[in-house]
Amino acid sequence: MGLDILPLNAETAAAPLHIPIAHKDPFDELLLVQAQQSGARLLTRDRAMLEHPLTYQPL
């Protein structure tokens, strides 16, 4: 499993999230947009985010 740290840019910050999150945290949404635009999944243990299809929880 490879991990990449992605830089944040203006295009990502302005892009909409295609599948919205229920809890409306703007920083979480920004992380998900970044994953969406790069074709990646977001590695997280945040329970509020785990229902989103772009997230992945480590074992």
**Average pLDDT by stretches of 10, the chain with 59 residues:** 83 94 92 94 93 92
Measured in Å, how far apart are the chain's first and last C-alpha atoms?
13
Whether 8 is in a domain gets the answer: no
pLDDT of residue 53: 96
pLDDT of residue 15: 95
Contact by Cβ (8 Å): 15, 38: no
Those residues with Cβ within 8 angstroms of residue 33's Cβ, 6 or more apart along the chain or in another chain: 12, 13, 15, 16, 17
Structure tokens that stand for 32 in this block: 């998900």
Whether 37 is in a domain gets the answer: yes
Whether 33 is in a domain gets the answer: yes
Domains in the chain: how many in total? Answer: 1
**Full residue range of the structural domain in which residue 49 is found:** 24-58
pLDDT of residue 1: 60
**CA angle, corner 22, sides to 52 and 14, nearest 5?**
80
